[in-house]
Structure 1
Amino acid sequence: MARYIATRIAWIFVMLFAILSMNFVLFKLAPAYPPTTEDEKTAYYNKQVSDGYMEVTLVSDQEEMEEIRYQMSTATTVRNSYYEDKGDFIRAYLQVPISEQYFNWMGNVIFRLDFGQSTRVEVGRPVFDIIKDRMATTLTINIIALFFYTPIGLGLGIWAALKKNKLTDNVISFMVMIMISIPSFVIMVMLVMIFGYGLDWVPTIFPPKDADIMLRIRGYILPVLAMTFGPIAGLTRTTRAELTEVLTSEYLLLARTKGLTRKQSVIRHALRNSLVPLVPGIIGSFAGLLSGSVIIEQIYSVPGTGTIFLRALTKNAYDYNLLLASTAFYTCIGLSAVLIVDLTYGLIDPRIRMGGVR
């Protein structure tokens, strides 16, 4: 087991390296939008030089200086370049090749754990500090949603399976079909309109950090509800299908013939065997909740990692370093969820031997 876990963790780092490397190249091909004021521009480009993404040269040749001044006056300078006209000379900041930038960036990440500073969202602040401030809000909403929809989904699925083809089963199946068909962002808008603006039971936007504690608690209600409707429907449908199949299996019929009541056979045998595919799915759905919360946070103005990720993608506010750090955050959670899912198979069903070979 220890060898299997170590191997999987090593593969997590390999996958993380590959994903971030691909994103680095793709983000670098997109246009950059540095700060607008001259002081912020100077600080930004000096940081680019110190990180190894650009190089600075002094131009004193008169003909070359006139050509650069002409380009500056007509706004035709080379993309991702910056010139400071000092009169007697021009300080030129020029982008180094992407391959060289990549190795410089990799060195900063590996040896200094430095993803750089924000260039547009919060200029000059380390990007992981920005994400760290918002990580607690995002994880709180997603974890509450996870613990909220899991018992409801399991309970409805078990109830529907035990009442198969009866009125209860038909009603639950009908509600599941409706819930799974409506996107979470549509549900979020409906909840805000009804309970926020219509009934005035909850705030219409997420309360700030300095708000009253009860107001902040009420602020979690709508995003948690919006993120649970879809998972409840999916878990209910999966639980019903798995438990229905187990209830008609031969070993469960054998247990009934040996004298076990229906309740005893369901609790001792049916539920445990039906949980083998369900529990890993519940854990894996946590990563899906995180990706879905990006839109929910934007609609409800939640100060989470999803909101900051979309802000970094906004036109004329492209924050390259913050995008890479956000990608690393979501990728780590997704890959860790996959590892936990694989480990739970062995914990639920001891017959499954992790990393076993024939």
Structure 2
Amino acid sequence: MARYIGKRLLWMIPIILGIVVMIFTILHLVPGDPAKMILGLTATPEQIAALHTKLGLDKPFLVQLGDYMSGLFFHLDMGNSYVTGVSISGEILSRLPRTIGLGLISMIISFVFGVLLGILAGTHQNRWQDSLSMVIALVGVSMPAFWLALMLVLLFSVKLNLLPASGMGGIEYYILPAIANSVGGIAGIARQTRSSILETIRSDYVTTARSKGLKENEVVMKHILPNALIPIITVAGQSFAGVFGGSLIIETVFSINGLGLYMMSGITSRDYPVVQGCVVLLGIIFSLCMLLVDIAYAFVDPRIKAQYEGESKKKKRKEAVA
């Protein structure tokens, strides 16, 4: 098991390096001169050249890339904002807990309700429970998150005056954003759970468990669901990563001072270092989510355990013979 996890951790290194190089290259090729954007149209060529030197923009591309990667990986420094001059790493660290908090709440809602809807649909195939669950999932997949967020604000904040429409504070400020951010995940997990349940429910071991007189709830929880978890875990991991991407819109709608709102402000003001830092971090978070999915496979799928335990035993036998 340790070898499997170590192998996945090693794969993270080239993946993260590739993310950083790709994002830096794309933003480097974006048209426009950051110095002219900062100084304005009235800037003289001398002022522009001086700012190029100060920002390091007069250096070759590979040197700029090397400086950025060195600062990022050895000093956790993503540079300073073109607009405010404030450290991007400090801004991200101060805002990231809000985004992670919203993401975790949204993911818990997505996973719990998505799995419950999927189980309900899979165990009642072609009945009204199945139809209702899939209609809810279809609506959730088709509904844009920003539109749902605005509708929730109109209903619960403007009309009913039950929940705050924007800002930060207690748990009540997270209710509407978490609901708007989790609907898409609920739909995806519910559809995948239903498919996995239907594939597993016809297996021989399920028939054997029922023939022993076990209650249907025990059959579902002890025999069907554990064997249907692998595809569900995959979709859940993708949904969790998507939650952070969706926070860009949700945080803007609800004025949550998190990573998404910070990135949107960087996009609107063409503050490339801010956008670059946020996208790099989101890419790393997505990679970590996929790493957690792979590690979860190792604990859920007995075939992975058997494979690596078998390799470990073979290695010990060879060492003993030698």
Is the 2:36–2:48 contact (alpha carbons within 8 Å) kept by the matching residues of 1?
A: no
Choose from 191, 200, 222 the match for 1:246.
200
The 5 Å alignment of 1:186-335 reads 186-207=147-168, 213=169, 216-314=170-268, 317-335=269-287
1:306 is displaced (CA, Å) by: 0.8
Q: Residue by residue, what CA displacement relative to the aligned partner does 1:52-77 show, whole Å, maximum 9, x if unpaired?
A: xxxxxxxxxxxxxxxxxxxx98x684
Question: Residues 354 and 23 of structure 1: is their aligned pair in 2 closer, same or farther, counting only changes over 3 Å?
Answer: farther
- Structure (1 or 2) with the larger CA radius of gyration: 1
Question: Residues 249 and 133 of structure 1: is their aligned pair in 2 closer, same or farther, counting only changes over 3 Å?
Answer: same
Question: Residues 116 and 156 of structure 1: is their aligned pair in 2 closer, same or farther, counting only changes over 3 Å?
Answer: same
The equivalent residue for 2:145 is 184
1:134 is displaced (CA, Å) by: 0.7
The equivalent residue for 1:115 is 78
Q: Residues of 2 paired with 1:322 and 1:185: CA distance?
A: 23
1:259 is displaced (CA, Å) by: 4.2
Choose from 52, 55, 60 the match for 1:97.
60
Choose from 301, 304, 307 the match for 1:349.
301
Question: Which structure shows the higher helix fraction?
Answer: 2
Is the 1:293–1:306 contact (alpha carbons within 8 Å) kept by the matching residues of 2?
A: yes
Is the 1:4–1:354 contact (alpha carbons within 8 Å) kept by the matching residues of 2?
A: no
Question: Residues 260 and 219 of structure 1: is their aligned pair in 2 closer, same or farther, counting only changes over 3 Å?
Answer: closer
The equivalent residue for 2:49 is 81
Give the letter for the 1:348 counterpart. Answer: V
Q: Residues of 1 paired with 2:193 and 2:51: CA distance?
A: 63
Question: Residues 248 and 94 of structure 1: is their aligned pair in 2 closer, same or farther, counting only changes over 3 Å?
Answer: closer
1:190 is displaced (CA, Å) by: 0.9
Is the 2:35–2:51 contact (alpha carbons within 8 Å) kept by the matching residues of 1?
A: no
Is the 2:76–2:89 contact (alpha carbons within 8 Å) kept by the matching residues of 1?
A: no
Give the letter for the 1:300 counterpart. Answer: F
Choose from 108, 127, 133 the match for 1:166.
127
Q: Residues of 2 paired with 1:151 and 1:341: CA distance?
A: 17
Helix, strand or coil for the counterpart of 1:118?
coil
1:126 is displaced (CA, Å) by: 1.3
Question: Residues 35 and 136 of structure 1: is their aligned pair in 2 closer, same or farther, counting only changes over 3 Å?
Answer: farther
The equivalent residue for 1:8 is 8
Question: Residues 228 and 202 of structure 1: is their aligned pair in 2 closer, same or farther, counting only changes over 3 Å?
Answer: same
The equivalent residue for 1:134 is 95
Q: Residue by residue, what CA displacement relative to the aligned partner does 1:304-339 show, whole Å, maximum 9, x if unpaired?
A: 10111111112xx22232222212211111111111
Question: Residues 281 and 355 of structure 1: is their aligned pair in 2 closer, same or farther, counting only changes over 3 Å?
Answer: farther
- More deviation, 296-305/257-266: 257-266
TM-score (norm 1): 0.77
The equivalent residue for 1:52 is none
- More deviation, 190-199/23-32: 23-32
The equivalent residue for 2:315 is none
Q: Residue by residue, what CA displacement relative to the aligned partner does 1:45-103 show, whole Å, maximum 9, x if unpaired?
A: xxxxxxxxxxxxxxxxxxxxxxxxxxx98x6849963489xxxxxx9x97122222222
Question: Residues 140 and 96 of structure 1: is their aligned pair in 2 closer, same or farther, counting only changes over 3 Å?
Answer: same
Give the letter for the 1:117 counterpart. Answer: N
Identical columns (%): 31
Give the letter for the 1:130 counterpart. Answer: E
Q: Residues of 2 paired with 1:140 and 1:272: CA distance?
A: 28
Question: Residues 186 and 4 of structure 1: is their aligned pair in 2 closer, same or farther, counting only changes over 3 Å?
Answer: same
Question: Residues 3 and 163 of structure 1: is their aligned pair in 2 closer, same or farther, counting only changes over 3 Å?
Answer: closer
Question: Residues 108 and 261 of structure 1: is their aligned pair in 2 closer, same or farther, counting only changes over 3 Å?
Answer: closer
Runs of 4+ in 1 over 4 A off after TM superposition: 34-38, 354-358
Question: Which structure shows the higher strand fraction?
Answer: 1
Q: Residues of 1 paired with 2:150 and 2:81: CA distance?
A: 31
Q: Residues of 1 paired with 2:253 and 2:36: CA distance?
A: 27
